[in-house]
């Protein structure tokens, strides 16, 4: 079965299969680095992380590129506010993004191109657009001539006339058309870049077109990002790249629904964001993954406490199952596990069908509960655990990861458990309970069974 994905451009489904796609080139629009990343950003990057893991598991080679916009008015304004250079601001928040990314167990991109590293490529790109009649030089910058690209609006499915009528575009006498967008803006004040066109800075849209062309080629397999990028960003990328290259920019356009607070999208400009770093302190990375993946990526996702509580409970069950398979009992019991394996197999099929993560998660949850029931009944043998190895494969595709524990921490926990067991034998339950409370403060969950005391370091108690 091929991997099937929805395409925003055609509003249809497109198959990726190994016969024609040995390597899948993916470009996902990254963050503008002027602040910390929030849960809305996390949703986009988690979705593409799961897609990438699935493709790799299915045998595809994947080249994954995610950019940083490291020159922008927001970055410059932040630098002025802090009294530092724009480079210091961008470096700080690139570092912060990568820390969040690692904490979320996102696979690192093959490349993280930066806008400031591709100024020459942008200038060459603009030069080509001018030569082909798609761009013109005005007194305050260089603009893309939207009228020169007859298919403008094909991604958003909005006609140019409607865009002009509905757009809130500042009046600019230097533009031929209200929809014309800046490829390059002239600036005399720093920061600026000296080019054949004089001093200036790039427009937002040209950055991604130039970085894609340089790092992945003229046509890529999947271009992705949040649905708020469909217009104008991705529409303008198409106009630029296809205007210059004369071929499709992407075979599949994949967009992730917004995370919303009530009716409003999570946005820094609306001051309603939950930063990734803050969410992780309260709930942890796996809970965030479950929360994000419990809705289909194309749907909008409402951020509320009830959904987070549900994600916590779901993760607890999945986490327990993963530990149960790592802690089988030394028994000869060998029960039938085909129903669990079927759930896992169907979950993989759900993922291959337009990345249907909510359906796949539900199946994983059912499998987890059955594994936990067998473990609680002391019937999960080593042989059965080995048969259920596909559970771990699905666990990895979702990007889940059990809490790490250092050798010294492990030694400390096991000493405390030995002390507790001794106190219990002596019927000194008060001090034994005190040790349990101490372990709970370290997020160590204890499970007493007739076959001994087992412990697990958990994300949320």
The domain ranges of the chain are 17-278, 283-397, 407-457
What does the pLDDT look like over 364-399, one tens digit per residue? 999 999 999 999 999 999 999 999 999 999 999 999
What's the mean pLDDT in 177-195?
Answer: 95
CA 329 – CA 385 distance, rounded (Å)? 9
Cα 22-214-76 angle, rounded to 5 deg: 130
Give kind and range of the element (H or E) at residue 364: helix 357-376
What's the mean pLDDT in 275-288?
Answer: 97
* Per-residue pLDDT at 269: 72
Does 165 score more than 80 pLDDT? no
Percentage with pLDDT > 70 across the chain: 98
CA 12 – CA 96 distance, rounded (Å)? 37
Cα-based distances in Å from 344 to 56, 144, 337, 353, 388? 17, 50, 11, 14, 9
Does 261 score more than 90 pLDDT? no
Question: Computed over its alpha carbons, how large is the radius of gyration of the chain?
Answer: 26
* Per-residue pLDDT at 408: 96
Q: How confident is the model at residue 263 (pLDDT cuts 50, 70, 90)?
A: confident
Does 21 score more than 90 pLDDT? no
* Per-residue pLDDT at 267: 75
The residue written with tokens 């077109």 in the block is 209
β-bridge partners, 144: 135, 181
* Per-residue pLDDT at 171: 61
What does the pLDDT look like over 223-251, one tens digit per residue? 999 999 999 999 999 999 999 999 999 99
What is the DSSP code (8-state) at residue 330?
S
Q: What is the pTM of this model?
A: 0.95
Strand positions, DSSP E, 145-192: 181-186
* Per-residue pLDDT at 22: 84
Tokens read off for 332: 């000869």
Tokens read off for 320: 């327990």
Q: At what angle do helices 407-425 and 429-441 cross, to 10 degrees?
A: 160
Query: Where does 17-278 sit in CATH, by number?
Result: 3.40.50.620
CA 14 – CA 346 distance, rounded (Å)? 20
Answer yes or no: are the C-beta atoms of 363 and 345 closer than 8 Å.
no
Percentage with pLDDT > 90 across the chain: 90
What does the pLDDT look like over 284-329, one tens digit per residue? 999 999 999 999 999 999 999 999 999 999 999 999 999 999 999 9
CA 286 – CA 395 distance, rounded (Å)? 11
CA 253 – CA 155 distance, rounded (Å)? 9
């Amino acid at each position: 079965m091929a991997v099937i994905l929805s395409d925003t451009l055609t509003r249809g489904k497109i198959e990726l299969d190994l016969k024609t796609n040995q390597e899948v080139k993916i470009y996902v629009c990254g963050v503008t680095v002027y602040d910390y990343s929030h849960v809305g950003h996390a949703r986009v990057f988690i979705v593409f992380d799961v897609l990438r893991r699935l493709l790799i598991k299915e045998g595809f080679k994947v080249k994954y590129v995610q950019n940083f916009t490291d020159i922008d008015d927001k970055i410059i304004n932040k630098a002025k506010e802090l009294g530092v250079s724009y480079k210091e601001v961008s470096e700080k928040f690139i570092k912060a993004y990568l820390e969040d990314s690692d904490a979320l167990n996102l696979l690192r991109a093959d490349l993280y191109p930066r806008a400031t590293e591709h100024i020459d490529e942008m200038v060459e790109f603009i030069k080509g657009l001018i030569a082909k009649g798609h761009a013109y030089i005005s007194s305050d910058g260089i603009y893309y001539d939207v009228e020169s690209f007859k298919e403008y609006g094909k991604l958003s499915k909005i006609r140019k006339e409607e865009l002009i009528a509905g757009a809130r575009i500042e009046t600019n006498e230097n533009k031929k058309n209200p929809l014309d967008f800046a490829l390059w803006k002239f600036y005399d004040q720093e920061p600026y870049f000296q080019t054949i066109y004089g001093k200036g800075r790039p427009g937002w849209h040209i950055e991604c077109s130039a970085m894609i062309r340089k790092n992945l080629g003229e046509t890529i397999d999947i271009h992705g990002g949040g649905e708020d990028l469909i217009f104008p960003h991705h529409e303008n990328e198409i106009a630029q790249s296809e205007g210059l290259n004369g071929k499709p920019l992407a075979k599949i356009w994949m967009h992730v629904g917004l995370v919303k607070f009530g009716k409003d999208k999570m946005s820094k400009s609306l001051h309603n964001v939950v930063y990734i770093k803050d969410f992780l302190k309260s709930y942890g990375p796996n809970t965030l993954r479950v929360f994000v993946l419990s809705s289909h990526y194309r749907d909008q996702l409402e951020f509320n406490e009830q959904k987070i509580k549900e994600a916590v409970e779901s993760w607890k069950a999945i986490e327990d199952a993963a530990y149960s398979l790592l802690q089988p009992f030394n028994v000869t019991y060998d029960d039938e596990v085909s129903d669990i394996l079927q759930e896992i197999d169907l979950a993989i099929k759900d993922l291959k069908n337009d990345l249907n993560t909510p359906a796949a998660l539900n199946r994983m949850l059912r499998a987890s509960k059955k594994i936990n029931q067998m473990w609680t009944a002391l019937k999960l043998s080593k042989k059965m655990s080995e048969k259920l190895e596909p559970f771990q494969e699905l666990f990895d595709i979702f990007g889940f990861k059990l809490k790490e524990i250092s050798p010294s921490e492990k030694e400390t926990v096991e000493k405390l458990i030995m002390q507790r067991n001794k106190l219990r034998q002596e019927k000194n339950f008060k001090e034994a309970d005190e040790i349990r409370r101490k372990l709970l403060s370290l997020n160590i969950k204890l499970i007493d069974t007739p076959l001994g005391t087992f412990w697990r370091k958990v994300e949320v108690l």
